[in-house]
């Protein structure tokens, strides 16, 4: 079992920046593919970014490409999401997700590709 704990959400003005962090425990972190999803009120949970366990390949939703950066620190068992040039449309609860399906060689972009979830952290961007 993997436990994920997010931190770093908050309120920021449009154009500002926030950094989210997710601490993982319970399994070798280097064996996990990690991702961030978000869910706005009344909307489906959507993929934001992912980073692979091997080589650390990164993938982004088109809506955040060029503004958000996902990274991981295997020594600290953490994954981070640096969010710049934030827009009101980025307002949502952000969730850290992980899976340890070592047979997968392609990035997961749906919620069904991930087995473990954090409790979520609120990000609010004011106009």
Is 25 within 8 Å of 126 (Cβ atoms)?
no
In angstroms, the first-to-last Cα distance of the chain is 40
- What's the rounded mean pLDDT across residues 4-32? 95
Looking at residue 43, the DSSP 8-state letter turns out to be S
Looking at residue 120, the DSSP 8-state letter turns out to be -
What are 93-127's pLDDT values in tens digits?
999 999 988 888 889 999 999 999 999 999 999 99
What are 46-98's pLDDT values in tens digits?
999 999 997 679 999 999 999 999 999 999 999 999 999 999 999 999 999 99
Report how far residue 42's alpha carbon sits from residue 48's, in angstroms, rounded to the nearest whole number. 17
Phi, psi of 90 (to 5 degrees): -85, -5
């Amino acid at each position: 079992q993997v436990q994920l704990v997010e931190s770093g959400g908050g309120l920021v003005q449009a154009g500002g920046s926030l950094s989210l962090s997710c601490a993982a425990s319970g399994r070798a972190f280097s064996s996990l593919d990690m991702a961030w999803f978000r869910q706005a009120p009344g909307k489906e949970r959507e993929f934001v970014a992912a980073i692979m366990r091997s080589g650390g390949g990164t993938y982004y939703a088109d809506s955040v490409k060029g503004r958000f950066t996902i990274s991981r620190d295997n020594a600290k068992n953490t994954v981070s999401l640096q969010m710049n040039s934030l827009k009101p449309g980025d307002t949502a609860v952000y969730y850290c997700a992980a899976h340890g399906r070592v047979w997968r060689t392609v990035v997961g972009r749906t919620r069904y590709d991930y087995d473990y979830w954090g409790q979520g952290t609120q990000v609010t961007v004011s106009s």
